[in-house]
Amino acid sequence: MAKAHVLVLPFPAQGHVTPLMELSHRLVDHGFEVTFVNTEVDHALVVAALRASGGEVAVCGGIHLASIPDGLADEDDRKDLSKLIDAYPRHMPGHLERLIDDMEATGRPKVKWLVGDITMGWSFEVAKKFDIRVVSFWPGAMAALVLLLKIPKLIEDGLIDDKGRPQREEIFKLGPGTPPLHTSHISWNNAGAPEGQPIIFDMVIQNNNFNDLAEMSVCNSFHDAERGAFKLFPDILPIGPLFPDGEFRKPVGSFLPEDERCIKWLDAQPDRSVVYVAFGSMAIFDPRQFEELAEGLELTGRPFLWIVRPDFTPGLSKTWLHEFSQRVAGTGMIISWCSQQQVLAHRAVACFVSHCGWNSTMEGVRNGVPFLCWPYYCDQFLDRSYITNVWRTGLAVSTNAEGVVTKEEVRSKVEQVVGNTEIKESALLLKDAARRCVSHGGSSEENFMKLVNLLSD
């Protein structure tokens, strides 16, 4: 007998789509029918990237792909989080309802479960209208979720006001074993322009309430990485680090085509020699910072693989980039996107210069790769604190008086990370812990089976 039909709904951003796609593959492997719902814009990107790699489009590794409008105009900036968050709850619920109706009308099995991103809490109410049961999914660090759930206590302690704004300049911890965080780095105050902050904070408050509609909450982390955070909310179950398959054959919903040439290039490099540089799907660098980073990588004299999205640095001189590319042609490779899990699992990678998004963090951790941390926004500052202060698996870049990470700083910190024996040893210990958790009998594997059993109910 076929298992339940599960609807999976991520927040429309690469860092949310990827882990939920990885979870969807695992559910398909356990016999569930999964429909993965992207916005129309993100769906088009995923389909185009799949076609470019010759993959199946209608059914992505057994996952049915569907889409609904996001309520924004074609010309709207979808990297503006406050604009997204303002539009979604007003426009998307009706579209999701119609999708559920349409699927049943065309003969698809009735949706029994929604596995929904906590940041799309409005969808939990839609599910209840259809008697669809809900599991909530958190794609980030457990400590980042604890920060959101502890908002009433932070207000009570006078650390923030009722609008989410810091009332004191200080470093605080959510509890024993959690990463120290400065009040200037609270996630909802670092998600774009200040005028959008109230919209984002209101969304956080609403989603905290919506999460009460879920029968189970799971997250892409593991006990040994965040013991202190899980002690604070033991009912939230870690099922990570998630990954689709050991052979990297199953697509993870990339918005850009993955350039497979980089794997052959890595094959030709010595063990633990390559500096891998990637800043995720949202970070934007200005031309000066781009040039400083580029010249810093050049100064290291090490081979490097650098992911530069087409929209990474608006206004960069094409002449400058062409000349730089020619200079480093023998040692560096610059591409627009890759299979990051495959790259980080490669024997040639020595360190990861990263924005510290949680997916990247978990992928680096699972492969024992040391980090050079360069956070951009939101929860990435907290993830950096885990890496540098708690796990001690990396270092962080520092800016000069003008707020720029100089080429000398890049060169120096790369050398410090690559040459630090204690960092390497810590990274390998955490790698072993991660692999134990996802192996048979491990805590994440046992929690995943609790999820499977609930969805089978």
pLDDT digits (tens, 9 = 90+) for 267-287: 999 999 999 999 999 999 999
Instruction: Round to whole Å and give the CA distance between 146 and 240.
Output: 17
- Please report, rounded to a whole number, the percentage of residues in the chain having pLDDT higher than 70: 99
**Predicted local distance difference test score (pLDDT) of residue 60:** 74
Q: What residue segments make up the domains of the chain, in order of their start?
A: 5-247, 261-434
pLDDT in tens, 134-160: 999 999 999 999 999 999 999 999 999
**Superfamily grouping for domain 261-434:** Glycogen Phosphorylase B; (3.40.50.2000)
**Predicted local distance difference test score (pLDDT) of residue 72:** 86
- Looking at per-residue pLDDT, the higher value among 68 and 62 belongs to 68
Instruction: Round to whole Å and give the CA distance between 353 and 395.
Output: 10
DSSP conformation class of 390:
I
What is the average pLDDT across 322-347?
95
Between strands 216-219 and 133-138, the pairing is parallel
Instruction: Round to whole Å and give the CA distance between 423 and 406.
Output: 23
Q: 404 pLDDT exceeds 70? A: yes
Between strands 111-117 and 63-68, the pairing is unpaired
Helix ranges, 301-373 (H): 318-327, 340-344, 358-366
Instruction: Round to whole Å and give the CA distance between 434 and 151.
Output: 29
Instruction: Round to whole Å and give the CA distance between 450 and 215.
Output: 12
Q: Beta-carbon neighbour count of residue 45 at 10 Å?
A: 19
Instruction: Round to whole Å and give the CA distance between 271 and 346.
Output: 9
Q: At what angle do helices 358-366 and 421-438 cross, to 10 degrees?
A: 100
Residues, the chain, total? 457
**Predicted local distance difference test score (pLDDT) of residue 59:** 62
Q: How many CA atoms lie within 13 A of 333 on its CB side?
A: 20
Which pTM value belongs to this model? 0.96
Cβ burial 12-42 (10 Å sphere, 16+ → b, else e): bbbbbbbbbbbbbbbbbeeebbbbbbbbebb
Least confident of 74-78, 344-348, 383-387: 74-78
Instruction: Round to whole Å and give the CA distance between 10 and 394.
Output: 30
Widest CA span of the chain, in angstroms? 65
What is the average pLDDT across 2-12?
93
What is the average pLDDT across 335-339?
95
**Fold agreement (5-247, 261-434):** yes
pLDDT in tens, 165-181: 999 999 999 999 999 99
Q: 80 pLDDT exceeds 90? A: no
Stretch (H or E) spanning 66: strand 63-68
Cβ burial 133-154 (10 Å sphere, 16+ → b, else e): bbbbbbbbbbbbbbbbebbeeb
Residue 263 contacts by C-beta under 8 Å, 6 or more apart in sequence?
A: 339, 342, 343, 346
User: Highest mean pLDDT: which of 51-55, 208-212, 219-223, 251-255?
Assistant: 219-223
pLDDT in tens, 346-375: 999 999 999 999 999 999 999 999 999 999
DSSP conformation class of 379:
T
**Superfamily grouping for domain 5-247:** Glycogen Phosphorylase B; (3.40.50.2000)
Instruction: Round to whole Å and give the CA distance between 280 and 307.
Output: 9
**Predicted local distance difference test score (pLDDT) of residue 5:** 97
What is the average pLDDT across 298-325?
94
58 band by pLDDT with thresholds 50, 70 and 90: low
Q: Which of 248, 359, 308 is nearest to 15 (CA)?
A: 359
**Predicted local distance difference test score (pLDDT) of residue 163:** 95
21 band by pLDDT with thresholds 50, 70 and 90: very high
Q: 381 pLDDT exceeds 90? A: yes
Q: 56 pLDDT exceeds 80? A: no
Cα dihedral across residues 431, 432, 438, 439: positive or negative: positive
Q: 288 pLDDT exceeds 90? A: yes
Between strands 33-39 and 349-354, the pairing is unpaired
**Predicted local distance difference test score (pLDDT) of residue 442:** 97
